[in-house]
Amino acid sequence: MRLPTEAEWEYAARGPNGSKYPWGNTWDGLRVNHNDVSLKNAGFTQWGCTTDNDGFAYTAPVGSYKNNASWCGAFDMAGNVWEWVKDYFSDNYYAESPTSDPQGPTTGRMRVKRGGSWDLPPNDCRLAIRPGSEPDGRHAGHGFRAALDY
């Protein structure tokens, strides 16, 4: 097992049609763990909260949301926790990478994380968001997904 590349993660999340969210192109706050009423009721109001209520203040067990799987059956690709990927971060990733099976930089200080987190607003749970972060930090909103080679 290994971390997926950024390209593998994005394809699993967006699918062959390049959807904005794993379930399609329209926001549905009941299919993703984000900063909402549950988080506000737990006392977190740093960035404001939506009026959605996904039922979890912090992280949610995998598969907690009805029909939130991506096209290939991967759950929670948006929200819940940021997911580390293998690639190092580059601001020019899309400009520098080939269109077929792109690989990120082979060295760097920061790694890419994808998918958003339980403490973020909807706009930051879009599949296109890809911040870089130093991998030695810890946060309750960081996690990973393993890729399995056959």
Query: The domain that contains 101 carries what CATH number?
Result: 3.90.1580.10
Q: CB atoms < 10 A from the CB of 137, how many?
A: 7
Q: How far apart, in Å, are the Cα atoms of 7 and each of 3, 50, 83, 129?
A: 11, 30, 13, 13
d(CA 15, CA 12): 6
Q: What pLDDT is stored for residue 66 in this prediction?
A: 66
Give the tens place of pLDDT for each residue, 3-57. 999 999 999 999 888 889 888 899 999 889 999 999 999 988 777 789 999 889 9
Q: Residue 106: give the domain boundaries.
A: 1-150
For 135-149, what is the mean pLDDT?
Answer: 88
d(CA 99, CA 134): 26
Q: 14: which 2 tokens?
A: 């967006």
Give the tens place of pLDDT for each residue, 65-110. 766 678 888 888 999 999 999 999 987 776 776 677 777 788 889 9
Q: What is the domain count for the chain?
A: 1
Q: What pLDDT is stored for residue 92 in this prediction?
A: 76
Question: What's the whole-model pTM score?
Answer: 0.88
Q: What pLDDT is stored for residue 88 in this prediction?
A: 92
d(CA 73, CA 54): 20
Looking at the DSSP bridge assignments, the partners of residue 84 are: 113, 144
Q: What pLDDT is stored for residue 61 in this prediction?
A: 92
Q: What pLDDT is stored for residue 62 in this prediction?
A: 87
For 132-147, what is the mean pLDDT?
Answer: 89
